[in-house]
Structure 1
Amino acid sequence: MSVRKPNFELLRIIAMLMIVTLHYNIHADALLQLGVPASKVQIFATVIETFCITGVNVYVLLSGYFLSQTNIKLSRILKLICQVYFYTILISVAMMMVGTYTVGSDDTIYKTAQYLFPISSEHYWFVTAYVIMYVLSPVLNAAVNALSRIQLKTVIIGLLIWFCGIKSIVPVMFVTDHAGYDYGWFICLYLIAAYIRKYDVVLFFNAKRSALVFLISSLISLAMSLALHYINLVRGGFIYYSQVPTHYNFIFTLTGALGLFSVFRFLKMKENWFANVVRFVAPFTFGVYLVHMHLEIRNRWVEWLESLIGPVPMDNVLFFAWHMIRCVIIVFAAGIFVDWIRKMIFDFIGRVMKDTKLFKFIRKWDEKIC
């Protein structure tokens, strides 16, 4: 059994922290608003936004990098789907028990469908895209192994032009562009990561240049966000394009993600207690997402934390930053703890049901697939 590399696992943790930070900014209503003069806190939040927006792409790149040389077993796919159901159903039941469930009489059927079919209904858009990518990974891996280097590169370039290139320069919203919130973009990222791993592609020569790519990409996205907001404020227009610099499939969001990914690829971590802690925590990061982005929680967790540590300070940058850091750490730590409990429950069920017909059938299919 291969040992998880701590440098990549640390990046997985950082990527999820970046994602939680993005959600904090959104639900704290701290980002720029078109047609409204920017406050210092909104400018600061936008700075954080443009540096953290790469988190989703990095998380998918990591998945593609490792899954592209892994035999995807039926048991792993089922475990992933069961993990999603564990949270969609259990959290809903818990919210009902404490009397904070938000479903109303007019949307009961639709919300019930979102809990019973969380992947099909995009209960979590990220999970829907990620699970589809995960299920398709054997097909993608077969394509990566069968195609020549030039063929695979051509496919990736074509996908990048379609998903990323055109939308990044044309200030018009296309019907087929979902801003990177879909499995099409995830598949593109998966193939990029698979290409990097298969041919051991060295991105940006070294860690320093990789960090510079990440920094410059983020600063360009920041400059564009601020400039487009100002132009809209003064002259109007750019209502759609002002949001493009923080889309997941924007060109500089991609280059920033590749730069950050490359930094940690060059990073050499010592084998010590910190590396072991990183290895322990990283596998639970997906659970952090599932907890804080549940339909019953996503729009309320900032409000709940306000009752614990005070309201979001919108008139002081330092106080806002301190509030944000505490909220992100609390949400991340709580998600890690809850998913650790979930894993113990799953492990217990696995031991109890190990010799049942169902589990024997799944193991048999794993052997056939592999």
Structure 2
Amino acid sequence: MTKRNANFELLRIIAMVMILVLHYNAHCDTLLHLGEHVTGVQAYATILEAFCITGLNTYVFISGYFLSGSKVKVSRILQLICQVYFYTILISISLMIAGTYVVHPADNIYKIAQYVFPISSEHYWFVTAYIIMYVLSPVLNAGIHNLSRKQMKAVIIGLLIWFCFIKSFVPVMFVTDHCGYDFGWFIVLYLIAAYIRKYNVKVFYNARNSMIVFLVSGVIIAVMSFVLYYINLVTGGFIYYAEVPIHLNFFFTLTGSLGLFSFFRYYRVKENKAADVIRFVAPFTFGVYLLHMHIEMKDRWVEWIEHIIGEVPIYSVPLYALHLAASIVIIFAAGVFVDWVRKMIFEYVGRVLHNTWLFNKIRQLDQDLC
């Protein structure tokens, strides 16, 4: 059995940590507030945001890079869906038992729909976009296989003009722009990663250049955020465009993501116990996302952690940084543990039902697709 590539698995972990940082800052409401004077913690959180916003694109790059070179399996799609249901339903049941489930009679029917139809209702917007991308991957791979390099490059450039370039430099909100939070942008990222893999593109030529691109992109995003904030403070303008630098499909978010992804293509993790730990932990990162972004938890997990390590210190940058780091470690470890339990349960069910008609049919569908 081929070992997972440890450098990409490490990148998967780092990307999820970046996503956790984004969600922590958002929950603590410590980013810049237009029209208000900036605090030290807000400045620090905004700088973190500028670099960490690249994490989500990078996570999708990893998936596109490997999915474009493999066969899509029905069993994998079903496993992803079952994994989502494991979290959407069992977390709610657990919170009901613990007495912390929030019930609002006015939206009770909608909440039920979010559990019964988590993909269609965007219980997790990321999962909805990711699964649509995954289901479409056989079609995308067929196009990738049959298009010439010139044709594929033209398709990617055309999509980037539509999804990225125009919105990045025109300070007007477009109705069709979802800021990268949908499957359309994920497909663009998938095709870019597939192009890099198919033609072994030496993005930025080496690890050093790649890291420079990542760092410079983050600095530009941060500087733009502060400049636009200041312009708004003085003139009241750029209310919409002030948020564009931290959109997923902003030009420098894309270049930063490419720089980070490219760096880990060149970087090599030494084969030792640490590499084995990375390989063990990385597959559970998706579970970390599903745990902390469950609709009953996404606005409450920081508050729960506050009961353990104290309130978020929003008036001290060093203390805020320590609280953030401790919170990320706690929620990441909890997510890995819960998803490890989920994996054990799934494997047990798989062994029990291995020879049933349903599982035989799924394996047959996998073979037919291959």
Q: Which residue of 1 aligns with 2:125?
A: 125
- Within 2, Cα distance between the matches of 1:336 and 1:267? 25
Which residue does the alignment assign to 1:143? 143
Deviations 1:201-221 (A, max 9, x none): 001111111100001000000
- Show the 5 A alignment for 1:338-357: 338-357=338-357
Q: What's the counterpart of residue 217 of structure 1? A: 217
Deviation at residue 142 of structure 1 after TM alignment: 0.6
In 1: Cα distance, 2:369 partner to 2:194 partner: 20
Within-5 A mapping of 1:1-370: 1-370=1-370
Displacement of 1:237 after TM fit?
1.2
Unaligned 5+ runs, structure 2: none
Shift in Å, 1:99: 1.3
Moved over 3 A (4+): none
Structure 1 position 2, deviation (Å): 2.5
Kindly provide the amino acid, as one letter, of the partner of residue 275 in structure 1: A
Structure 2 counterpart SS, 1:31: coil
Cα deviation per residue 1:272-321 (whole Å; 9 max; x = unaligned)? 10000000000000000000000000000011111111111111100000
1:103 Cα deviation from its structure 2 partner: 2.3
Shifted more, 345-354 versus 28-37: the winner is 28-37
What is the rounded CA distance, in whole Å, between the counterparts of 1:21 and 1:269 in structure 2? 24
Amino acid at match of 1:136: L
Report how far residue 234 of structure 1 moved: 1.1
Query: Contact 1:8–1:62 (CA<8 Å) still a contact in 2?
Result: yes
1:91 and 1:269 map into 2 onto residues whose CA distance is 35
SS in 2 for 1:122: coil
Cα offsets for 1:28-51 (capped at 9, x unmatched) = 111111111110000000000001
Cα deviation, 1:193-238, whole Å, max 9, x if unaligned, reads 0000000000111111110000100000000000111111111011
Q: Specify the SS of the correspondent of 1:106.
A: helix
In structure 2, C-alpha distance between the alignment counterparts of 1:274 and 1:233, rounded to whole Å: 48
What is the DSSP-based 3-state SS (H/G/I as helix, E as strand, rest coil) of the residue aligned with 2:89? helix
- Report the aligned-residue RMSD: 0.6
Distance 1:147 1:307 in 2: 55
Shift of 1:269: 1.7
Length, aligned pairs only:
370
If the length of structure 1 is used for normalisation, what is the TM-score?
A: 0.99
C-alpha distance in 1, partners of 2:320/2:68?
A: 41
Code of the aligned partner of 1:112:
I
State the TM-score, normalized to the length of structure 2.
0.99
By how many angstroms is 1:119 displaced?
0.6
> Percent identity between the aligned chains?
65
Contact 1:232 1:238 in 2 (8 A): yes
Structure 1, unmatched stretches of 5+, are none
Whole-Å Cα distance in 1 between the matches of residues 39 and 159 of structure 2?
38
* Structure 1 residue matching 2:177: 3-state secondary structure: coil
| 8 A Cα contact 1:103 1:111, kept in partner | no
Q: Which amino acid counterpart does residue 51 of structure 2 have in structure 1?
A: F
- 3-state SS of the aligned residue for 1:107? helix
